[in-house]
Amino acid sequence: EAGVAQSPRYKIIEKRQSVAFWCNPISGHATLYWYQQILGQGPKLLIQFQNNGVVDDSQLPKDRFSAERLKGVDSTLKIQPAKLEDSAVYLCASSLIPGQGVETQYFGPGTRLLVL
Amino acid sequence: AQTVTQSQPEMSVQEAETVTLSCTYDTSESDYYLFWYKQPPSRQMILVIRQEAYKQQNATENRFSVNFQKAAKSFSLKISDSQLGDAAMYFCAYRRGNNDMRFGAGTRLTVKP
C-alpha cells in the first residue's frame, strides 16, 4: 500500500512570498491532518479534515494560512504571505477511521520550508 | 490545556543494551490515548506503540514496551536490545477522543555500535 505522499520535499522562498504544499493521503483514509514542526519542537496540528470538511482549524493562522481538501482526497496548504517564523517542516498525515482517538495516523515525509 | 513533557533532549545507548525514554503529561481527563512516535533522520514519522488510558496492562510491541503510570501521569518507553536502526527522534504524544494530538518536544536517541 502506498504511503502518504507530499510535495515538494524542500522549498526556499523569501518573506512575503507565497507557497503551497500538496498532500495525497493513503487511499480510503477519511481523515487528513496538517502539522507544523518547528526545529527542536514536536509537531503542532494546524488543521484536521474529515472527508472534505474541516474538523479542527483552531491553531491555523487564518490571516496567512489556508487549506483545502478537494473531493475529500488530496489537500493543499497555502501560506500567503510567508514570514520568517514559518520556516518549519510541514507534515501531512492521514487515518482511516474519522477522528478516532486510537486510530493510527500515518505520516508523510514532510515538506521542509525555509523562509529567507 | 494538555501538555506533554519530555525532559531528556538527548539520550545515548550502547547497541544491544536497554534504554528508557521519559514522558510526563498533564491532563484532568480520565479517558485518553498515549503514543510514542519515531522519526528517523530525513524519514517519516512512524508509530512505535500506543496505550489506551483505560487499560491497566502496559503495551508491548516486540522490543518496545511502556511503563504507564496513570496516577503519576507518566508514560515511559523502554527499548530493549537496542539496534542501530533505533537511532531517531522519539516523540511522546497525547490525544483525547477526537481532539488534536499533542506532542512533546522529542528525545534524540543515539545508538553506539
What are B58-70's pLDDT values in tens digits?
Answer: 999 999 999 999 9
Of B4, B43, B97, the CB nearest to A101: B97
Say how far apart CA B100 and CA B6 lie, in whole Å: 18
Please compute the mean of the pLDDT values over residues B72-81 and round it to a whole number. Answer: 97
**CB-based contact (8 Å) between B78 and chain A?**
no
Low-confidence ranges of chain A (pLDDT < 50): none
DSSP B97: T
pLDDT on residue A92: 97
Q: What is the pLDDT of residues B22-66, one digit of tens each?
A: 999 999 988 899 999 999 987 889 999 999 999 889 999 999 999
> Residues of B with CB below 8 A from A99's CB?
97-98
| Interface contact A2, partner B, CB < 8 A | no
Hey, are the CB atoms on B44 and A44 less than 8 Å from each other? no
Q: What is the pLDDT of residue A99?
A: 54
Instruction: Tell me the longest C-alpha to C-alpha distance in chain B.
Output: 42
pLDDT-wise least confident of A3-7, B56-60, B84-88, B95-99? B95-99
Cell of A99: 477522528
Higher per-residue pLDDT: B10 or B56: B10
pLDDT bracket for residue B112 (50, 70, 90): very high
Residues near A21 by beta carbon (within 8 Å), at least 6 away in sequence: A6, A7, A8, A11, A76, A77, A78, A90, A92, A111, A113
Contact A9, A82 (CB under 8 A): no
What backbone phi and psi angles, to 5 degrees, belong to B88?
A: 180, 175
- List the helix and strand counts (H, then E) for chain A: 0, 11
Amino acid at residue number A86:
D
pLDDT at A1: 63
B23 interfaces chain A, CB cutoff of 8 Å: no
> What does the pLDDT read at residue B83?
97
Q: What is the pLDDT of residue B43?
A: 81
A102 min Cα distance to partner chain B (Å): 6
Grouping H, G, I as helix, E, B as strand and the rest as coil, residue B80 is: coil
Q: Which residues of A touch B103 (CB under 8 A)?
A: 42-44
